[in-house]
């Protein structure tokens, strides 16, 4: 049993490029409260974080970027080529991350929790959990993903892979192995089957879809599943007049990175919000509306559903990125719910600003809403 009462906690790991974050997102789709321990470590060394000054004293001002943030690429060049330097960094960061994980799991109402970390075995955190899940992919796929997704040079990708403990040691210790060397759907089937074997009853009944009366009928909003991929692809094409064309496989792949709220009228797709929750910030970066559910009508129920999901994951803030064409209508529709236009610099918390920088595209407007008065992880 884990050290967290009334929780089943999965320690999720796998070497770099194996796709453990994709598996974490799948578990989130299935109702788990998930924690990205590596994202928490970034908060520890961010300006104002408890490890920021110590990292600068240990590695020098050279790792500091012009924006006042620790440049993680520069820091990585040091620690991934020097095991002693990496051990010193972990000694600074890991104690704070463990404190944050403990607080988050205790506060979550979910029966199933997931902690994702590369070194969850080496730090001893896996021993506190009920089961160890290891995500595996062939080394050639690991390297390809690092080059394609993280834009690393092939030599740097190999260096990152070589700096980690052998994947074989993780596999020997695993209670569950997820083979992520194939398609999304193959991996999804493995994750679903493994969760079903746990036999966990939900802590509370799943919320019913939200409903809003419209002139065209009742609009309901629910969380989409990968089985909705074809309908989502069709909706995006219709909403953009085919300016953006997606195949079903494109949407399936997107489920490994984000979630979708789907609005329907008479059982047919009518509007869509694509969002992700990372580092206690919800970010909506896709909004699509058909004629029978225009933005002024559908935006608010969509965002209410996103907020409900975000609060279950203990989010501190919600960020919505809207196109120039959507800005006026979105501001009018969401203003009564507390969303205000702002800039990245206008966000008062470093973690919120970092989330906005990662997700904001050129030409878009940022709408912001604080979801809770208290900070969940202060100062982490």
Tens of pLDDT along the chain (380 residues) come to: 678 888 999 999 998 889 999 999 999 999 899 999 988 888 888 888 889 899 999 998 888 888 778 888 888 888 878 888 888 998 999 899 999 999 999 989 899 999 999 889 988 999 999 999 999 998 888 888 888 888 888 888 887 887 777 888 899 999 999 999 999 999 999 999 999 999 885 544 455 556 676 766 899 999 999 999 999 999 999 999 999 999 999 999 999 999 999 999 988 999 999 999 988 899 999 999 999 999 999 999 999 999 999 998 889 999 999 999 999 999 999 999 999 999 999 998 878 998 999 999 999 999 999 998 877 666 55
Answer for the pair 255, 274: CB distance below 8 angstroms, yes or no: no
Distance CA 372, CA 377 (A): 12
What pLDDT sits at residue 205? 43
Distance CA 184, CA 5 (A): 33
* Domain presence at residue 263: yes
Work out how many domains the chain is built from and give that number.
2
Cα torsion 51, 55, 57, 60: sign: negative
- 12 plus 160 within the same structural domain: yes
Listed in sequence order, the DSSP H helices in the chain are 20-29, 37-44, 52-59, 72-79, 83-107, 139-149, 154-162, 167-173, 184-198, 229-239, 248-254, 295-312, 327-334, 350-359
Contact partners, residue 101, CB within 8 Å, separation at least 6? 35, 37, 40, 115, 125
Strand order through the sheet with 176-179: 33-36, 112-116, 8-13, 131-136, 176-179
What pLDDT sits at residue 151? 82
Answer for the pair 108, 33: CB distance below 8 angstroms, yes or no: yes
Cα–Cα distances (Å) from 378 to 15, 107, 251, 374, in that order, read: 29, 14, 36, 9
What pLDDT sits at residue 210? 67
- 232 plus 193 within the same structural domain: no
φ, ψ for residue 27, nearest 5 deg: -65, -35
In the listed set 167, 198, 229, which residue is the last one of a domain according to the structure?
Answer: 198
Q: Helices 52-59 and 83-107, interaxial angle, to 10°?
A: 170
DSSP 3-state of 2: coil
DSSP 216-232: TEEEEEEE--GGGHHHH
The pTM (predicted TM-score) of the whole model is 0.83
In the listed set 150, 177, 198, which residue is the last one of a domain according to the structure?
Answer: 198
What pLDDT sits at residue 209? 59
In the listed set 150, 174, 198, which residue is the last one of a domain according to the structure?
Answer: 198
Instruction: Supply the range of the domain harboring residue 79.
Output: 8-198
* Domain presence at residue 307: yes
- 122 plus 253 within the same structural domain: no
* Domain presence at residue 380: no
Distance CA 38, CA 116 (A): 8
- 287 plus 161 within the same structural domain: no
- 236 plus 286 within the same structural domain: yes
CATH of the domain at 187: 3.40.50.300
CATH of the domain at 215: 3.40.630.30
* Domain presence at residue 204: no
| Helix %, strand %, coil % of the chain (to 5) | 45, 20, 35
Q: Which helix (H) or strand (E) holds 292?
A: none
Distance CA 278, CA 147 (A): 23
What pLDDT sits at residue 118? 87
């Amino acid at each position: 049993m884990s050290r967290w009462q009334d929780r089943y906690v999965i320690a999720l790991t796998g070497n770099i490029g194996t796709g453990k974050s994709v598996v974490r997102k799948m578990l989130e789709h299935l109702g788990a409260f998930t924690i990205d321990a590596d994202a928490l470590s970034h908060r520890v060394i961010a300006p104002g974080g408890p490890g920021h000054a110590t990292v600068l004293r240990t590695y020098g001002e050279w790792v500091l970027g012009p924006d006042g943030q620790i440049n993680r690429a520069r820091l990585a060049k040091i620690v991934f080529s020097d095991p002693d330097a990496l051990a010193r960094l972990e000694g600074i960061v890991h104690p704070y991350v463990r404190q944050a994980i403990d607080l988050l799991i205790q506060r979550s109402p979910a029966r199933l929790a997931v902690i994702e970390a590369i070194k969850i075995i080496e730090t001893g955190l896996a021993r506190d959990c009920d089961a160890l899940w290891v995500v595996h992919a062939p080394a050639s796929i690991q390297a390809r993903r690092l080059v394609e997704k993280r834009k690393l040079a092939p030599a740097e990708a190999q260096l990152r892979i070589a700096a980690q403990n052998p994947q074989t040691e993780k596999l020997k210790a695993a209670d569950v192995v997820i083979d992520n060397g194939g398609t999304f759907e193959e991996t999804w089937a493995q994750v679903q089957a493994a969760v079903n074997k746990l036999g966990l009853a939900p802590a509370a009944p799943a919320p019913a879809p939200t409903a809003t009366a419209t002139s065209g009928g009742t609009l309901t909003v629910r969380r989409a599943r990968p089985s909705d991929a074809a309908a989502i692809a069709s909706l995006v094409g219709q909403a953009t007049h085919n300016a953006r064309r997606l195949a079903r496989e494109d949407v399936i792949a997107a489920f490994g990175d984000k979630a979708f709220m789907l609005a329907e009228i008479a059982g047919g797709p009518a509007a869509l919000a694509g969002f992700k929750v990372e580092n206690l910030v919800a970010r909506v970066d896709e909004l699509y509306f058909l004629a029978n559910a225009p933005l002024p009508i559908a935006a608010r129920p969509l965002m209410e559903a996103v907020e409900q999901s975000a609060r279950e994951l203990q989010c501190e803030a919600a960020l919505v990125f809207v196109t120039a064409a959507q800005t006026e209508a979105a501001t009018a529709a969401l203003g009564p719910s507390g969303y205000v236009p702002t800039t990245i610099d206008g966000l008062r918390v470093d973690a919120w600003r970092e989330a906005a920088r990662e997700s904001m595209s050129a030409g878009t407007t940022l709408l912001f809403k604080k979801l809770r008065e208290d900070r969940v992880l202060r100062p982490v």
